[in-house]
Homo-oligomer: A and B are copies of this chain.
Amino acid sequence: MSKLRVHALTVSIDGYVAGPDQTLDTPMGIGTEHLHDWMFPTRTWHQIIGEPGGSDGIDERFAAEGFEGIGATIMGRNMFGPVRGEWAPVAGEEWRGWWGPDPVYHHPVFVLTHYEHDPIEMEGGTTFFFVTDGIESALDQARTAAGSDDIRLGGGAATVRQYLRAGLIDELHLVISPLLLGGGERLFDDDLGDAVKGYECVEVTAGEGATHVRLTRR
């Protein structure tokens, strides 16, 4: 069966995945400007933003893995965009994600939300589907869409925690970035309960810009 995988989920040394005060201008919250610095030099990131070159080291290997064998993506609504509550235009237009007309996904993306919304078909094979009946439904739909490929679970942290609590994540690639945020949203928050005990750390590898940790379900 296809796996549900988390990739490049980046935390600070003090355990935060995002800062406080997420807005349109600061989608990752305050203070997180450098949290993903490990990723920007990589070849994978260069490809995403359409620039040549990029590094081919350890950080690149981990960044690239997140795009290999993935047939569908699931993400929380806060990763999709800044709109909260009922859907509403942003700057006068329908919000269609952070990723421009041809998003990086090139496959079906299932956005978890409490508010119904018609699918949005983008260029390059990405279609955003909006799922209002829960994380297991989203996973079922993503599995069907992915076929024999795996499913990548994006953020935010609250979404990852929901799937962790339900024991539905198969592999989690965590990146520890060498900085302190001093506050924000935790990945390993108390609401996880005993869910973490179902996972084990199978690899720790020092990259050029961060430390890569691989967790798998026991």
Contact = CB atoms under 8 A, between A and B. Distances in A.
Contacts of A197: 180, 182
A27 interface: no
Q: How many copies does the complex hold?
A: 2
A203 to B, nearest CB: 8
Nearest to A31: B197
A66 interface: no
A209 to B, nearest CB: 10
A173 to B, nearest CB: 12
A154 B196 CA distance: 28
Given A204-B206, A205-B206, A215 B180 contact: yes
Interface of A: 13-15, 174, 176, 178-183, 186-188, 190, 192, 194-197, 199-201, 204-206, 210-211, 213, 215
Given A15-B188, A182-B194, 5 more contacts: A14-B15, A180-B197, A180-B201, A182-B197, A183-B196
